[in-house]
Every structure is written in structure tokens, then in C-alpha cells.
Amino acid sequence: MPELPEVETVTRTLNIIAAGKTIQSVKVSLPRIIQKPSEPEVFAAALTGHTIEKVERRGKFIRFVLDGLVMVSHLRMEGRYGLFAADDPVEKHTHVRFRFTDGTELRYKDVRQFGTMHLFESGEEFRQPPLVKLGLEPLEDEFTLEALRSRLASRTSKIKPLLLNQEYIVGLGNIYVDEALHSAGIHPETTADRLKPEQWRKLHLSIRATLERAVEAGGSSIKSYVNGQGDPGSFQHQLLVYGRKNEPCPSCGDPIIKTVVGGRGTHYCGACQPLPKARRSAASAPLR
Ligand SMILES: [Zn+2]
């Protein structure tokens, strides 16, 4: 599933290929992609005649900002956009086509069919699902060390699932959480309330640094991700732990461990990311 760096890359590309274009017609061939309004014909009619002013990202969502309307798109597993000439042959699994007045067409293709689109009046999109409950943007000024700690530090859940929860911080998925925790030297099963001040400081820095480097590299191409112009990202070559089971840790050389945390495949280094010792009060812990 694309995470912040991949969605950011797609968003930037959409700004280049689609902003400034006026929609002449919309064709929906898989109605369930359109979540709001419920009828695809209403969705198509509402967009007709509107111009895409800019394209922005909120968490893992893409916001197409039009004159008076906002379309919120989520790529989920394998959704992707591409710009074509209107008379280009339509590839298989193309579910939504936005025909522009200049003779080009933005096409949404989604092999797994999990992607979604919601249409709102401008400004309404932040008051309703799917954007209403989203948390901090980790690349914005609002993502301070204090903001991170105030949301998570008292929680007794494991740090990895907390970082995956989009209601606290947006944009992180399985790849970048594993990477950020490795950079910060934190075991993914450490409960948030046991992290030391120094670890919070490292985690805050590593989340931002990991995402910034990945955005710079155009995201990671794992499985089928490509940006809107068909170019793969290159950050997969810089990954430290994700997908590197049994390979040497880039910091210490120990083999990377793969386990499951909160139901998600998880990569970490046992030496660089030690689990804090059990609390003395933990009943079964042997006393020395
Ligand atoms: Zn290591």
C-alpha cells in the first residue's frame, strides 16, 4: 500500500499532468470506487465543467481541488493515475476516466479495486469521513516532539501499531514505521509509556528524516507502485530493515529479524533495537 512518500510523489506528478485542466466528461465503469455521492452518474455530472486548480495530499489521501469542489482519492493497494490522449486504447482495470477539454484524459486504474473517491463541496471534506479524524502531518510544522509525546507517551500499547494509527500521525505504513523505529533504535514492541525522553527525541527525528529521504527518492517501489507518469520510485534501495529478513543490519551486521507485531509483518534488528527489560512488578519475571 502506498504510504506518505509514494502518495506525495503521485500528488506532485498529478499537479504537473492534471492541474489547470477542465473536465469535459467523466466515465465510471466500476461504481463501487465512487463512495460519495452514492450514484456514479451524480458524481460525473457534478464534476463536469469544473477545473482542477491544484492537487494536494492529506495523509495517504489525494485531494483534487477544483473550483468549488474537492475530490478525495485513496489509492489503497494498487490504484494509480495516468494521463493519456482521449483516443488511446483503454488498458484493462481502468475504472474511472476524466476527459479534459484539451483532448487528454486522466485515467484511474486499479487492479485490486480497493481504491475510493469521495466528492465534496470545498471545505466540507475536512468535516466528514474519510479525512475528519486524521492526525498530525509528519512533514509539517505541527509535528513537534511535544505534539508527538502528548498524543502517545501515556499509552500502554506497543509503539508500532500506535504509529500506524492514522488518527495520531498520518502517512506512516508498514515500511516507514519499521524504518523509523530502526533509525531510532526502538524495538517495535516497546510500549509507548516505557519510551525514554531520549528515545522520543530520536523517534521524532527519525520519522521526519525517513519520510523526507523517501520523498526525495520518489517513494519506494515495492510490488507495483509507480507514480502518475509510470516511473518507479527508488527508495527501496535505501531501506535499512524492511524486506531484508536475515540480511545484515546496516548498523551492526546482525541478521535482521522478521516477526509479527499487531498482525503486521515487522522487521527489526535485535541488537540495535533491544526490548526494554520486563518491569520488576511483572509477576513471572525472575528476580536476580
Ligand atoms: Zn543492528
CATH number at residue 180: 1.10.8.50
Do 99 and 201 lie in one domain? The reply is: no
* Rounded-to-integer distance, Cα 165 and Cα 148, Å: 13
CA of 247 to the centre of ligand 1 (A): 10
Active-site residue, 232 included: no
Assess if residue 286 is contained within a domain.
Answer: no
- Residue pair 95/107 in contact by the 8 Å Cβ criterion: no
155 is in an annotated binding site: yes
80 is in an annotated binding site: no
Assess if residue 157 is contained within a domain.
Answer: yes
Residue 211: per-residue pLDDT: 96
**Does position 54 have pLDDT exceeding 70, yes or no?**
yes
Active-site residue, 3 included: yes
β-bridge pairing 264-268 and 257-261: antiparallel
CA of 252 to the centre of ligand 1 (A): 4
Can you tell me the mean pLDDT for 40-50? 98
Assess if residue 188 is contained within a domain.
Answer: yes
Q: Grid coordinates representing 209?
A: 528524516
**Number of structural domains found in the chain:** 2
Q: Quickly state the pLDDT bin for 278 (edges 50, 70, 90).
A: confident
CA of 128 to the centre of ligand 1 (A): 43
Of these residues, 2, 5, 40, 130, which one is catalytic? 2
93 is in an annotated binding site: yes
Active-site residue, 2 included: yes
Assess if residue 94 is contained within a domain.
Answer: yes
Can you tell me the mean pLDDT for 168-176? 96
CA of 243 to the centre of ligand 1 (A): 15
Assess if residue 132 is contained within a domain.
Answer: no
Q: Which domain holds residue 220?
A: 145-268
Q: Grid coordinates representing 9?
A: 510523489
Do 176 and 252 lie in one domain? The reply is: yes
Assess if residue 209 is contained within a domain.
Answer: yes
Active-site residue, 130 included: no
- How confident is the prediction for the chain on average, in pLDDT? 93
**Does position 111 have pLDDT exceeding 60, yes or no?**
yes
Assess if residue 155 is contained within a domain.
Answer: yes
Give the pLDDT confidence of 213-265 residue by residue, as tens digits: 999 988 887 655 556 666 778 788 889 999 999 999 999 999 999 999 999 99
Can you tell me the mean pLDDT for 141-146? 98
Q: Flag whether the pTM goes above 0.85.
A: yes
Of these residues, 21, 57, 60, 99, which one is catalytic? 60
Q: Quickly state the pLDDT bin for 1 (edges 50, 70, 90).
A: confident
